[in-house]
Amino acid sequence: MRPILMKGHERPLTFLKYNRDGDLLFSCAKDHTPTVWFADNGERLGTYRGHNGAVWCCDVSRDSSRLITGSADQTAKLWSVETGAQLYSFNFDSPARAVDLAVGDKLVVITTDPFMELTSAIHVKRIVTDPSEQTGESVLILKGPQGRINRAVWGPLNDTIISAGEDAVIRIWDSETGKLLKESDKETGHKKTITSLSKSADCSHFLTGSLDKSAKLWDIRSLTLVKTYVTERPVNAVAMSPLLDHVVLGGGQDASAVTTTDHRAGKFEAKFFEKILHEELGGVKGHFGPINALAFNPDGKSFSSGGEDGYVRLHHFDSDYFNVRI
């Protein structure tokens, strides 16, 4: 499996997102310019200029016409995917961390970090078809828990919002009333910061990755723990294959801890697990630093990883990957 190396960012990668058709890949990094690439050959299409801080997260509309990005410069920006023009900027009093468009692209959830006296918060905003009529008012604001919320996504049918972050608790909120519906159990849940959250293609379950060196699979409606996948290093990114029962975890120790504890670069691999049997299937090496972002192409035939080293690596699976037997 020869990876395609995509060098377009000066700083560590933070997030990767394919569009629905799987022909475009959007990357966010700690430099200020989200970038879009062709997903088949890794050719760079263009960048979105306008942020003045690290870009933490992005999401793209179902028809691939709009991109939304959340940044440390205290804004979430709406872009035209095709022209790169900035359509609107949602301004906040603290960094915008996670963004997720609802099914139908009429609503977006944006989380903001704790900052000075402010606690973390989850904002629901309306997205209108005509950018000239876009406003920044919130449909709903949920004052969040202690610590940062690293991910917030929509539940099935946009009825709920699922959030997770530094306090290691997963919460499910009613997206209309803002009421807290469920919290993950302290016993079965993660023990350290939850770094990442990825939904299955059919929205029936989701996967969380944590600094406690594990990833967990949850039922999206009941929040019951289904599976736990254990690795020997902190997990920064998780993704699920839409095609096979495979999950992939990426991570590695923080760059500052690496030199003292681990001299082998091979530690930074994307590890594949069988979703049901949670057997480790294998790993894909290559990054010279922790993996911060992972994404599967919606067709399940390729995946990409983004690392602390500033590279995006695009992997198209060999045919024997589809015949893996345990």
What is the predicted pLDDT for the residue at 326? 66
Given a cut of 90, whether residue 260 has pLDDT beyond it is: no
Q: Would the pLDDT of 106 be above 80?
A: yes
Please report the DSSP string for 52-107 in residue order.
SS-EEEEEE-TTS-EEEEEETTSEEEEEETTT--EEEEEE-SS-EEEEEEPTTSSE
- At the fourth CATH level, the homologous superfamily of domain 4-323 is YVTN repeat-like/Quinoprotein amine dehydrogenase (2.130.10.10)
Strands 235-240 and 149-154: unpaired
Q: What contacts 164, CB < 8 A, 6 or more positions away? A: 149, 150, 151, 152, 170, 171, 194, 197, 208
Query: What one-character DSSP code corresponds to residue 260?
Result: H
Q: What is the pTM of this model?
A: 0.94
Q: Show Cβ contacts of residue 98 under 8 Å, excluding neighbours closer than 6 positions.
A: 56, 57, 70, 109, 110, 111, 149, 150, 151, 152, 153
Whether the per-residue pLDDT at 244 is higher than 70: the answer is: yes
Sheet of strand 214-219, all strands in order from the earlier edge strand to the far edge:
194-199, 205-210, 214-219, 225-230
- Structural contact between residues 73 and 35, judged by C-beta atoms closer than 8 angstroms: no
Alpha-carbon Rg of the chain, whole angstroms?
A: 18
Q: Which amino acid belongs to residue 221?
A: R
Q: Return d(Cα 246, Cα 64) in angstroms, integer.
A: 26
Closest CA to 240 of 283, 282, 276, 206: 206
For the segment 205-240, what is each residue's pLDDT rounded down to a tens digit?
A: 999 999 999 999 999 999 999 999 999 999 999 999
The span from the CA of 53 to the CA of 73, in Å, is 5
DSSP label of 157? G
- How far is residue 130's CA from residue 292's CA, in Å, rounded to a whole number? 34
Q: Can you give the residue ranges of every domain in the chain?
A: 4-323
**pLDDT tens digits for range 311-325:** 999 999 999 899 877
Task: List, for residues 18-57, the tens digit of each pLDDT value.
Answer: 999 999 999 999 999 999 999 999 999 999 999 999 999 9
pLDDT tens digits for 159-205? 999 999 999 999 999 999 999 999 999 999 999 999 999 999 999 99
Structure tokens at 169: 């608790």
Lookup: tokens for 164: 């997770």
Contact in structure between 39 and 314 (CB atoms under 8 Å): yes
Between CA 320 and CA 105, with CA 237 as vertex, the angle to 5 degrees is 100
Q: Looking at the predicted structure, is the pLDDT value of residue 278 above 90?
A: no
- Mean pLDDT along residues 301-318: 96
